[in-house]
Chain A
């Protein structure tokens, strides 16, 4: 069943007479509990698509619907849809308020969506949520500045989970993390996807990571999707020349090293 439906999305920036077309007629579906990878280089429009889905950007044309209901801008979106779609950003430090404790950050999410707030013991619910993202209860009183980048990203994910979303939009969610920490967060996302029955729109420039976790992949270039299909097909046997060019440029650990000069 289709959860998210993007149809003929178009976003332009700049002057009306000479607009920059960031998204140029994008259509894309994400099924329930499905992970769709959106790849492309900088400026391809992938983040703008994500921002439209999250309601942070108003499209010039086209529609975004969630189970058939239109996803409008944040503020005009019914609370129920607002919470169903949550976003995880690239830089966990700048997406968490440095002056708030972790408990307050999660509490704010519950205050924004009271229907998801725990009925009974909030502290117990908070600790359970932190445990879900692999963190000890004692981080509740700390602030983002006391935590490592990986821990901050866990908090971002906990904040998203707090309101029981159906779709997680991850925009380069592991790109800013150390290599050894990246693997932890990927594992966490994959585990949560199963336990919380989440669908994911996973945006990344890292084709290897996308290949690991996406069911389907869409490749964007200059605001358009040039190729879309099952991850194993698109990334192992690409049909579009741009996808091939991207794959050719991508490095693999197994690629032959340099010629040894002597």
Chain B
């Protein structure tokens, strides 16, 4: 449901029903050559049970680091802050054993490039079944479940394909194998980082349909990380837009993408051309996306913003409720929302 999420301003009370995952003031600092860089800066959003949340951003927005922090795959030397409330339990400050147990069994992840994520020297079936073997499931049962998982992920002839190596699979099949692997531990949340970016459109459509089917059949939650607004618009019910390591805007996907409350979201939406009708070229935003390493003062978007004013250059806008169930980090969100 789109109306269960409330903008969390201060210690405001939360939604009617508990979110599966609450990302609460998450920060990630990575060591850089000129000191630490805060690549994720106070990011908050909820992933309700059984829904798909889209996490949109350009390069340097911190979207992938946010996902990596959730599953606990940050690079060495990374420091984190805030909370990751998983069914109310803070995973960010949990010990290694607890995090390892969560990884795969409660939260799993698929990546943009399955060829890099899969082990090239191991048969597909062995990799899909690894988590089951680790859990002490018997050999024959592992085999049976692997074939079932591959079948559910839409790998044709799964019994035979389980014996093959990743290089013998096409790009689409590899992504299906990755999905089977991710589902092997029966997770409740699937993180999908640009899962279809490297695929052709027809393959992309099939993988997205598969993700939706699995999400609905299993009551899974999906956090879909993507730069592609069209992908997010088609599968996500909630959306979080990130810019320079911070949340620019969040809310129900259809509403946010039709009537953005942040000038950045508005520019992104305008830059996506329609396919079946000829769209006039949009007035492009100037400059390149700000990066956390050189985040402008005030609102990080202000140098590119068509409606920036003095206040935007000095005062960081808080993420605040701008409409029921919607939050945006813009001093002038009401103006952006106005028809």
Q: How far is the CB of A134 from chain B (nearest CB, A)?
A: 9
- B188-213 vs A: 1/0 string, CB under 8 Å? 00000000000011101100000010
* Chain B residues, CB < 8 A from A247: 275-276
User: Contacts A190-B281, A212-B273, A247-B275 given: A41-B200 contact, CB under 8 Å?
Assistant: yes
Interchain residue pairs with CB less than 8 A apart (12)? A178-B227, A181-B289, A187-B283, A206-B273, A211-B274, A211-B275, A236-B277, A249-B201, A251-B204, A251-B234, A257-B233, A257-B235
Q: Which residues of B contact A (CB under 8 A)?
A: 1-2, 50-52, 58-59, 200-202, 204-205, 212, 216, 227-231, 233-237, 253-254, 257, 267-286, 288-289, 304
A261–B236 Cα distance when bound, in Å, is 11
A41–B199 Cα distance when bound, in Å, is 9
* Chain B residues, CB < 8 A from A149: 59, 288
B281→A186 contact, CB < 8 A: yes
Task: Please tell me the size bucket of the interface on A.
Answer: 35 or more
B273→A208 contact, CB < 8 A: yes
* Chain A residues, CB < 8 A from B216: 261
A253→B253 contact, CB < 8 A: no
A231→B278 contact, CB < 8 A: yes
A42 within 8 A of B: yes
* Chain B residues, CB < 8 A from A212: 273, 278-281
A172–B116 Cα distance when bound, in Å, is 23
Mostly, the B contact residues are: loop
Partner of B233, one of A182, A232, A246, A253: A253
* Chain B residues, CB < 8 A from A258: 52, 212, 234-237
User: Contacts A180-B289, A232-B278, A251-B230 given: A261-B284 contact, CB under 8 Å?
Assistant: no
* Chain A residues, CB < 8 A from B278: 211-212, 231-232, 235
Q: How far is the CB of B205 from chain A (nearest CB, A)?
A: 4
User: Contacts A250-B201, A260-B1 given: A183-B237 contact, CB under 8 Å?
Assistant: no
Partner of A246, one of B201, B227, B236, B270: B201
* Chain A residues, CB < 8 A from B268: 179-180
Q: Which residue of B lies closest to A182 (CB)?
A: B271
Q: How far is the CB of B60 from chain A (nearest CB, A)?
A: 9
* Chain A residues, CB < 8 A from B234: 251, 255, 257-258
* Chain B residues, CB < 8 A from A150: 288
- A231-262 vs B: 1/0 string, CB under 8 Å? 11001100000000111111111111110111
Partner of B230, one of A180, A236, A252: A252
A213 within 8 A of B: yes
Q: Could you list 16 further interchain pairs (A-B, Cβ under 8 angstroms) beyond the known A212-B281, A261-B216?
A: A41-B200, A41-B201, A149-B59, A178-B59, A190-B281, A208-B272, A211-B279, A212-B279, A212-B280, A213-B281, A235-B275, A247-B275, A249-B202, A257-B236, A260-B1, A262-B1
